[in-house]
Amino acid sequence: MRPIQVLKDEHRVIEKVLDCLDQMAAACEREKSLDAETAQDVVSFFQGYADKCHHAKEEDKLFPMMESRGFSPSAGPTAVMRIEHTQGRELVGRMASAIDGAAEGDAAAVAAYVENARKFSALLRQHIQKEDHCLFSMAEQALTESEQSKLAVLFDNADNVELGAGVKAEFENFAVRLQEKFAAAG
């Protein structure tokens, strides 16, 4: 599979969990409480899959390769994507910090969880659109077939060695189970 398609496929998995996060935020706001276990699992997904699996491939593999082909690391599209990754990490951290209080019904924690969940969802959705419709097209055009083949090997290594064999599949299975859980509850 071409490396850019791998990243797009990962976006589809992330969007499944964002859909569930949106439902969780709405329920938290409505019920003034939060399912702490599911909320922590969702945070773990975003930290493990979206960040350590997906964003790491972009930041450590794709972006440097694009920058070697003339994209500016400080003012170009890869710089913007890195900034948004950092913003996302901060929002997920704030969500994580609010989970226990929100689960206990603390009004400030409920408000903090809902606010940060909604901000994160909005940020990541527009970020995915930028990558899918702009950045990835630029990468496809800029990188040679040889570079794309090398990138595919680097991505495979990232999934199976750096992240750990089977870990990516576990996260993807979690996304499907979570989506089914929320579909059944809706």
Tell me the per-residue pLDDT of 118-128, one tens digit each, with 9 for 90 and over: 999 999 999 99
Give start and end residues of each alpha helix (H) in the chain.
Answer: 3-31, 36-45, 56-57, 63-68, 77-103, 107-130, 136-142, 145-157, 167-185
Q: How many CA atoms lie within 13 A of 91 on its CB side?
A: 21
Residue 186: the pLDDT is 66
Residue 185: the pLDDT is 78
In whole angstroms, give the CA distance from residue 123 to residue 87.
8
Supply angle C-alpha 112, 113, 114, rounded to 5.
95
Domain ranges of the chain: 3-185
**From the CA atom positions of the chain, what is the Rg in Å?**
17
Tell me the per-residue pLDDT of 142-167, one tens digit each, with 9 for 90 and over: 999 999 999 999 999 999 999 999 99
Residue 184: the pLDDT is 85
In whole angstroms, give the CA distance from residue 63 to residue 124.
18
Cα–Cα nearest to 51, from 80, 85, 28:
85
Cα–Cα nearest to 49, from 103, 1, 12, 3:
12
127 close to 84: Cβ distance less than 8 angstroms: yes
**Contacts of residue 19, Cβ cutoff 8 Å, sequence gap at least 6:** 179, 182
Residue 1: the pLDDT is 84
Residue 166's CB is within 10 A of a number of other CB atoms, namely 11
- Please name the fold of domain 3-185: Four Helix Bundle (Hemerythrin (Met), subunit A) (1.20.120)
